[in-house]
Structure 1
Amino acid sequence: MTRLAALALLALLLVPAAARADDAPSYDRHVAALFSRLGCNGGACHGAVRGQNGFKLSLFGADPAGDRERLLREFGGRRVNFADPAASLLLRKATGEAEHGGGVRLRPGGAEYEVLRRWIAAGAPADAPSRVTALRVTPVEHVAKPGDDYALKVQATFAHGRTEDVTAFCSFESQDRAAATVDAAGRVTAKTAGEAALVVRYRAEPTLARVLIPRPAVGAFPDVTANNFVDAHVLARLRQLNLPPADLADDATFLRRAHLDVTGELPTPDEVRAFLADTAADKRVKKIDELLRRPGHAALWTLRFCDLLKAADFGVYADALTLEADAPRFQAWVRARLEENTPYDVFVERILTATSRDGRTAAEYAAEVEALFEGYRPGRPDLDLYRNRRTLDLYWQRRGADGVGGAMQVAHSFLGLRLECAQCHRHPHDVWQQDDLLQFANFFTRVRKVGFQGDNEKRFPDAAEQQKRYDAEGKRLEAVVKQRKEGDGKRLDELAKAAKADLDKLGKRPAAELANHKAVMAMADDFRRETQQLEKKSKLMPEVARRVMHAEIRLLPTAKAASVTSPLGTREAAGLRLPGAAEVLELPPDVDPRAAVVAWMRRPDNPYFARAIVNRVWAHYFGRGLIDPPDNLSAFNPATHPALLKELRDGFIANKYDLRWLHRTILLSRTYQQSSTPRPEASTDRANYAAFPLRRLPAEVFLDALSTATGVAEKMDMQYHHWPADVKAVEVPFAPRNPFVVFVLEQYGRPTRNAAVQCDCERDGGASVLQVLTLANHPQVWLKIRDPNGRVAKLSKAAGADKVEELFLAALGRLPSAAERAACAEYVRTAPTPEAGLHGVLWGLLNTREFVLQH
């Protein structure tokens, strides 16, 4: 023990008993809370990985006991001075008396200063950790006028039953400072019309309040009728804020919007005309039901789920897994389930609890693998084979799908949670700690890791038996091929060569002789083809063997506890604990832990599972989630319309997780069907749905719309991988070889499906100058417009057609106005040729916001 440390200990022992009275500030409830309130243990200060200037605190006070130990024992104990508390380095730095990179944090004599001084004067006592069981803020919701201010009060109830006013120990933050601000004391000031969520943090525990600032009423609120409960919630909020809703969108706008959002396709000119001519009162309802049954709906949501589930990066080639073969299989399985409208909870169960055998024997599974390899050919019969599997083992055959990485993917994809920060430390913007992540990861550590591990043959003898069988069959076929080539094959080739040479000679021959020569040549061709098939199969056998041996997904009997290694060192945690749960689960060895996760997800009170998909579907239609970003269901990220989200979630569960019910409910709402042009009084609203929000079309939908409008489909150039040439962009399972398509998809934000990126933001919906220039100037766009088999070329040859009207209907899904019709007709009349004029009209329509945006 150093001399300074000994003196510090002596000073602690000499503190008078009166100074250590029970009424001294609590380290756990008060001092540790002040470190959080003052920002001392934030990620930018002493809560950083390596701390600041030699002093480190756990992030947001995750380890209060360790923080106290470092505060008292490090640096020779000089951070606290029991003999003269005011001379403590802790206080001198915080008040600016000593140099402090974090600036002045305390005022001498202030209430916060006195808490720390009195604690030091009492001997810096420790106390038992006080777990918060309830944190309440009042008022939880308040309606104010611009300029009003009011105070928040926060009460904490602790596990030992004590309830205490902790307002002075909380930090406060407004999530919309333009609408309202909140100061360090919890005093809220309303600024302008709108609403703001107020995040309150006591230690690391969050709670929320909300302030609503209505716009001054001007006239009566519009008399609008709700189509369903979605509108009831939205209109109630708009009425509360005095934000008048937009009018309903016209029929043409609705039709185009619904077509693109539901099927990813533009309506045809004939569909637009028929819908506009339909006078039935329920035509929108019928159209929604029709669109939900179209193949495009399953195709579009297959794209969305494959993005979410990261349908890429399948194992390694050495394990007989490839992107070109397996991404389409993954996609085919997902699409089959969506076409069946499989309940979402069943859909997820059949992904998360997948095994390769699906209850079959090793030989039966190996036969399926063999059939998949043989089906990788033109027409891709392997896709039909895989889509009929019960479970999606390919989900677990991707790289990083097991252990901690797999847990983060499950949390993101199915729970809308971001846990990646918890790999190193407590999440800086959420409640998750390392143990939360590791104990959740333990549910997935028993899933066998794909790949050669060095002892697979010993660990999996039944698979090893199949491997030996297929390796032996491959060698046998290789010998047969060699024998055929060197024996009968060589002899038949020589006879066929002689017969062909004889046939090529001039002169007449008897018919029988000609037929005999052709029969010899045909026999040689048949023999050659059979040999080629045997040779191909001989090469497939080792591939089958490797996949059976190294890529079969199965549940292991035991597994090591999950661990992470970070700049803070290596940490592991045993036990099975679900996100947000306090208790560790005890499961029998024969129970699949993944099944326990699914059972928890299905519980009606699960706070994440159903809300996550409901929120994502809402975000698909409105460009933002009721909780936004839609993959961040955090206690610090409240819903704009919590009651609406709850009713959608409850209805989704009550309807047995029926995705089409969810889509239909949102689509039928007036909120979805209203105009994108807001009323002037609500022009600044962005979160309350006073108008339909404008957003750019997704990359694949935009590219397909460009092809539809011009009448020229893009050839994806994927025949090398046995993929149809005329596949649509929304159906492409991986980047094609067509350079224009690759360029457009990259520029318009198609995600790479990187398993290391746990964020919906991998699909970029933003706009850029390059996107504008691409549409305006790219040579391929002009080639599509001028294609001799394209829409303009066909219209130019059509007699009696209103060509300008046809282009408007094809590109924008509506009829031109009188002014637009006249301007376009004049442009075509003055163009070098009528066809050139129509080229210019179509180019102009494609370069409008109306074409690029969903509106």
Structure 2
Amino acid sequence: MKKTVRLTGRSVALGLLAVLAGAGLVQAAPNSASAKIDRLVSAKLDELGIPTSDPCTDEVFLRRVYFDLIGTLPTQSEAREFLGSHSINKRSELIEQLFDRPEFADYWSLKWCDLLRVKAEFPSKLWPNAVQAYHRWVRTALFNNMPYDDFVRALLTSSGSNFREAPVNFYRAMPNREPAEIARVVALTFMGMRTDKWGKDQLLGMAAFFGKVGYKGTAEWKEEIVFFDPSKEFLDPDTKKPVELRLPGGESVELLSNGDPRLAFTDWLVGSKVFANSMVNRIWFWLLGRGIVHEADDIRDDNPPQNPALLDFLAQELVDSGYDMRHIYRIILNSKTYQLSSIHNEGNLSDEANFSRYYVRRLDAEVLIDAICQITGTTESYSSAIPEPFTFIPEDQRSITLADGSITSPFLDLYGRPPRATGYESERNNTPSSAQKLHMLNSTHIQQKLQKNKALLGLRAGTAKSKKNKQVKSPWKSPEQVVEDMYLTILSRYPTAQEKETALVYYRETGNNYNASVDLAWALLNTKEFIYKH
């Protein structure tokens, strides 16, 4: 039975606008929250007299948002599709498409597992079974867009087996399990605060909330139960007297008899200003390369935010959205601030803190090797120092999906993958080195990868031979096509006329399409345009 829908004048108008916008005939209205971000950033820049860079091109945005949101290089076909689209909303549409991809959960679970120190060996010593359970829980939470407050509540208040109640591994993945150490890790991870300069009473007061966390083993190998133990008492190490529950600001807390103090602390934490501030500050740092408070995990009174109004606005957006982290990603990615070019002008050359341009950063180690493997159609080998159980990593597994920080490769170590020992953002070292440059330029590791992908180098698919053993047609694509395909595959853009002509001259001088293609691919892999986000 056909259903009739009566359209009001307003719905007809909205429908017509949608059609016209899709056809590129009208300009889509900007996201109001994204526009507010731009106004707050611009106000600060105007106050300082710093001009912004120009907007970035579609080619730059495509590659940037793929790496920033899903840690993955766009394929040649994805680059062609986006660059060929005439939709006025194609950037925001691409952002929404990337949210739905499994790589989004893969990449951000990598980031969170860095913070949570998910590692089978020292110093966390979670052991392999718990690592898999913990990583799977984190990834599922991100894939399902679990509200951030629920995510943190689960980590701080859960009890049970570390194999079956994965969030309890939060209380196990730390150098020691003393209440003061737990408090330090909680402050760093969820408040963006370092307790090094806290007073003794301030740290002990917060530690008291975790003084009744108990641990006990089971008959199953490496299984451990984390639970609330009302019989435990947390004593001051100097006076040997019970420590009063005190929040970081100094307020004392009284509990009902036998109440779990973790619940009271978590209720305070989720309702505190620093909780939302620290999360949006991390997201801003992850997407733009620098926190509104810098370092991103060093919030303190004498390290004020670069733009307090911007931090307050983003924190309120997180709360108002029901702690929807994707909402914060979305409004930042759709902002003109995020979509600025990384190319400086005379007025913002020295600006490194006010977001007048996009700050250039080297690709993360895992992202870089995954991109190289994707381009060359190869895989990477990983190893682990853990003898039992034997570590098996499928050949086609990507680095951004590795659950265990103990599993690594020489490339990941060389390019600064974090050891997951402290949970600090600064553990990841993206500073370029001479050894890294030499590896990309001279190693057999990269050379062998390039030589294995004949399709990248121009070999046609399904080339057949006649009965007289003669090629039906040339097995190699034309140099013009190879150059275009290679630029789209490696740099996610078409070559400029000058670049294309330079490459074709080299093909003619070399006289060997295969060797020329290997050299061109190697040259492109060694460009800053490939190795850096820009």
Q: TM-score range, shorter-chain basis?
A: 0.7 to 0.9
Residues 135-284 of structure 1: matches in 2 within 5 Å? 227-284=34-91
Residues 693-732 of structure 1: matches in 2 within 5 Å? 693-716=359-382, 720-732=390-402
2:434 is matched with which residue?
A: 769
Separation in 2 of the partners of 1:314 and 1:303? 17
Separation in 2 of the partners of 1:821 and 1:259? 25
Counterpart residue type for residue 588 of structure 1:
L
Residue 235 of structure 1 and its aligned partner are, at CA, apart by: 1.0
Counterpart residue type for residue 194 of structure 2:
R
Residue 759 of structure 1 and its aligned partner are, at CA, apart by: 2.4
Residue 301 of structure 1 and its aligned partner are, at CA, apart by: 0.7
Residue 746 of structure 1 and its aligned partner are, at CA, apart by: 1.3
Residues 777-796 of structure 1: matches in 2 within 5 Å? 777-787=442-452, 791-792=456-457, 794=459
Is 1:576–1:584's contact at 8 Å kept on the other side of the alignment?
Answer: yes
**Residues 720-740 of structure 1: per-residue CA shift (max 9 Å, x gap):** 434433110111123577xxx
Matched, 1:849 2:531: no
Alignment match of 2:418 (pick from 720, 732, 751): 751
2:150 is matched with which residue?
A: 346
Is 2:212–2:232's contact at 8 Å kept on the other side of the alignment?
Answer: yes
Matched, 1:831 2:510: yes
The 3-state SS of whatever aligns with 1:579 is coil
The 3-state SS of whatever aligns with 1:552 is strand
When Rg is computed on C-alpha atoms for both structures, the one with the higher figure is 1
2:260 is matched with which residue?
A: 592
Alignment match of 2:207 (pick from 441, 451, 461): 441
**Structure 2, unaligned stretches of length 5 or more?**
1-29, 462-474
The 3-state SS of whatever aligns with 2:318 is helix
Alignment match of 1:330 (pick from 115, 126, 134): 134
TM-score (norm 2): 0.85
Residue 853 of structure 1 and its aligned partner are, at CA, apart by: 0.7
Residues 480-559 of structure 1: matches in 2 within 5 Å? 542-543=219-220, 547=223, 551-559=224-232
Matched, 1:397 2:172: yes
Is 1:439–1:573's contact at 8 Å kept on the other side of the alignment?
Answer: no
Is 2:212–2:234's contact at 8 Å kept on the other side of the alignment?
Answer: no
Is 2:269–2:275's contact at 8 Å kept on the other side of the alignment?
Answer: yes
Counterpart residue type for residue 303 of structure 1:
L
Residue 659 of structure 1 and its aligned partner are, at CA, apart by: 0.7
1:416 is matched with which residue?
A: 192
Separation in 1 of the partners of 2:460 and 2:69? 29
**Structure 1, unaligned stretches of length 5 or more?**
1-223, 358-368, 373-385, 422-426, 452-466, 468-541
Separation in 1 of the partners of 2:406 and 2:269? 37
1:818 is matched with which residue?
A: 497
Is 2:148–2:324's contact at 8 Å kept on the other side of the alignment?
Answer: yes
The 3-state SS of whatever aligns with 2:273 is coil
Separation in 2 of the partners of 1:450 and 1:292? 40
Is 1:710–1:784's contact at 8 Å kept on the other side of the alignment?
Answer: yes
The 3-state SS of whatever aligns with 1:608 is helix
RMSD (CA atoms): 2.6
Q: Cα gap change, 1:688/1:802 in structure 2, threshold over 3 Å: closer, same or farther?
A: same
Q: Cα gap change, 1:673/1:315 in structure 2, threshold over 3 Å: closer, same or farther?
A: closer
Percent identity, aligned pairs only? 32
2:26 is matched with which residue?
A: none
Is 1:414–1:609's contact at 8 Å kept on the other side of the alignment?
Answer: yes
Residue 308 of structure 1 and its aligned partner are, at CA, apart by: 0.4
Separation in 1 of the partners of 2:275 and 2:496? 47
The 3-state SS of whatever aligns with 1:802 is helix
Separation in 2 of the partners of 1:302 and 1:594? 25
Q: Cα gap change, 1:570/1:765 in structure 2, threshold over 3 Å: closer, same or farther?
A: farther
Separation in 2 of the partners of 1:316 and 1:415? 22
1:298 is matched with which residue?
A: 105
Matched, 1:641 2:307: yes
Is 1:708–1:810's contact at 8 Å kept on the other side of the alignment?
Answer: no
Of structures 1 and 2, the one with the larger relative CO (CA 8 A, separation 6+) is 2
Separation in 2 of the partners of 1:851 and 1:572? 59
Separation in 1 of the partners of 2:427 and 2:316? 29
Q: Cα gap change, 1:709/1:571 in structure 2, threshold over 3 Å: closer, same or farther?
A: farther
Matched, 1:602 2:270: yes
Is 1:793–1:835's contact at 8 Å kept on the other side of the alignment?
Answer: yes
Q: Cα gap change, 1:814/1:315 in structure 2, threshold over 3 Å: closer, same or farther?
A: closer
Q: Cα gap change, 1:230/1:322 in structure 2, threshold over 3 Å: closer, same or farther?
A: closer
Q: Cα gap change, 1:352/1:322 in structure 2, threshold over 3 Å: closer, same or farther?
A: closer
User: What number of residue pairs does the alignment pair up?
Assistant: 485
1:144 is matched with which residue?
A: none
The 3-state SS of whatever aligns with 2:51 is coil
Separation in 1 of the partners of 2:345 and 2:76? 30
Counterpart residue type for residue 617 of structure 1:
I
Matched, 1:650 2:285: no
1:579 is matched with which residue?
A: 248
Q: Cα gap change, 1:592/1:837 in structure 2, threshold over 3 Å: closer, same or farther?
A: same
- Which range moved further: 788-797 or 641-650? 788-797
2:27 is matched with which residue?
A: none
Is 2:363–2:531's contact at 8 Å kept on the other side of the alignment?
Answer: yes
Alignment match of 1:802 (pick from 481, 486, 505): 481
The 3-state SS of whatever aligns with 1:680 is coil
The 3-state SS of whatever aligns with 1:664 is helix
Residue 711 of structure 1 and its aligned partner are, at CA, apart by: 2.4
Separation in 1 of the partners of 2:189 and 2:287? 18
Residue 397 of structure 1 and its aligned partner are, at CA, apart by: 2.9
Residues 309-324 of structure 1: matches in 2 within 5 Å? 309-313=116-120, 323-324=127-128
Residue 263 of structure 1 and its aligned partner are, at CA, apart by: 0.5
Residue 787 of structure 1 and its aligned partner are, at CA, apart by: 1.1
Matched, 1:407 2:80: no
Separation in 2 of the partners of 1:761 and 1:329? 26
Is 2:114–2:423's contact at 8 Å kept on the other side of the alignment?
Answer: no
Q: Cα gap change, 1:641/1:803 in structure 2, threshold over 3 Å: closer, same or farther?
A: same
Is 1:787–1:793's contact at 8 Å kept on the other side of the alignment?
Answer: no
The 3-state SS of whatever aligns with 1:673 is coil
Counterpart residue type for residue 708 of structure 1:
Q
- Which range moved further: 583-592 or 333-342? 583-592
Is 2:70–2:107's contact at 8 Å kept on the other side of the alignment?
Answer: yes
Residue 571 of structure 1 and its aligned partner are, at CA, apart by: 7.7
Separation in 2 of the partners of 1:579 and 1:795? 65
Residue 326 of structure 1 and its aligned partner are, at CA, apart by: 2.3
Separation in 2 of the partners of 1:250 and 1:573? 62
Is 1:438–1:572's contact at 8 Å kept on the other side of the alignment?
Answer: no
Residue 450 of structure 1 and its aligned partner are, at CA, apart by: 5.0
Q: Cα gap change, 1:394/1:257 in structure 2, threshold over 3 Å: closer, same or farther?
A: same
Counterpart residue type for residue 496 of structure 2:
S
Separation in 1 of the partners of 2:50 and 2:56? 18
Separation in 1 of the partners of 2:496 and 2:48? 36
Residue 314 of structure 1 and its aligned partner are, at CA, apart by: 6.7
